[in-house]
Structure 1
Amino acid sequence: MGITLTNAKVSNPRRPRGQTVEIEFLIDTGALYSVLPGSIAKKLALEKLDREEFTLADGTHRAYDVGEAFFELGGRRGTSKVVFGPLNVTPLLGALTLESLGLMVNPVTREVLPMRLFLASSSAPPHALSAS
């Protein structure tokens, strides 16, 4: 297993003309949410949407605020949930953020690549799918 680091720009999705910061993230495809130090979340004025409890690597449980941030990475842009971590936390880029940007990590080369996107189709005619 290798470590994959990447730079991404992060901003407040509710302040399109607001401040943007570029951060080096450790990509963790085993983590659901991305994680930012709380000081950066505060600097960007990210809004707290919820507070959730997480199990840490040592087995302890901690509650952290969760919000939403706007990410720019590899020519892709979009919003994703983000945990407001402690001051010294390593910024993590989690699976939800990668998937919301249509990106994946090649498990062999550890490169961040565009994901092959699929849409389901139905053999039923379009009018059969509409609500009555």
Structure 2
Amino acid sequence: MLVDSGSMYTWVSATVLRDLGVQPTERRRVVTIEGRTTERGAAEILITLEGRTLHTLCLFGEPGDLEVLGAYALEGFGLAIDPIQRRLIPAILYGAASS
């Protein structure tokens, strides 16, 4: 699966999601990398990454859509992309608290 911090959401093939028993619970409007506005089914799913399992929002990909791990999931896991080493690294996350 491609890791793409430019994609807000994680995209997985609708066929794969349905085979796993996941059904869309809502629809989301998105702009594709080609600049087209479209809608896709979406559902909350569990993702396991580097030994941790968290909920994330996932879009149901259609034929021709790339399967990607998006920014929403990366931030949930507290991870960032190291493009040089081509790996995920702990992210420095910013919050609203001050001390």
Query: TM-score, structure 1 length as denominator?
Result: 0.65
Which stretch of the first structure deviates more once superposed, 89-98 or 52-61?
A: 52-61
Moved over 6 A (4+): none
Q: What SS does the corresponding residue of 1:83 show, helix, strand or coil?
A: strand
Choose which of 62, 84, 87 in structure 2 pairs with 1:108. 84
Structure 1 residues 120 and 66, CA gap change in structure 2 (3 angstroms) = same
Cα drift, residue 107 of structure 1: 3.5
The residue type paired with residue 32 of structure 1 is M
Q: For structure 2, which runs of at least 5 residues remain unmatched after alignment? A: none
Match of residue 31 from structure 2: 55
Q: For structure 1, which runs of at least 5 residues remain unmatched after alignment? A: 1-24, 124-132
Higher relative CO (Cα under 8 Å, sequence separation at least 6) belongs to 2
Q: Is the 8 Å Cα contact of residues 54 and 61 (structure 1) preserved in structure 2?
A: yes
Provide the aligned C-alpha RMSD in A.
2.0
Q: In the alignment, is residue 37 of structure 1 matched against residue 9 of structure 2? A: no
Match of residue 46 from structure 2: 70
Identity of aligned residues (%): 27
Which stretch of the first structure deviates more once superposed, 114-123 or 70-79?
A: 114-123
The residue type paired with residue 51 of structure 1 is R
Greater radius of gyration (CA): 1
When the two structures are aligned, how many residues end up with a matched partner?
Answer: 99
Distance 1:116 1:61 in 2: 32
Query: TM-score, structure 2 length as denominator?
Result: 0.83
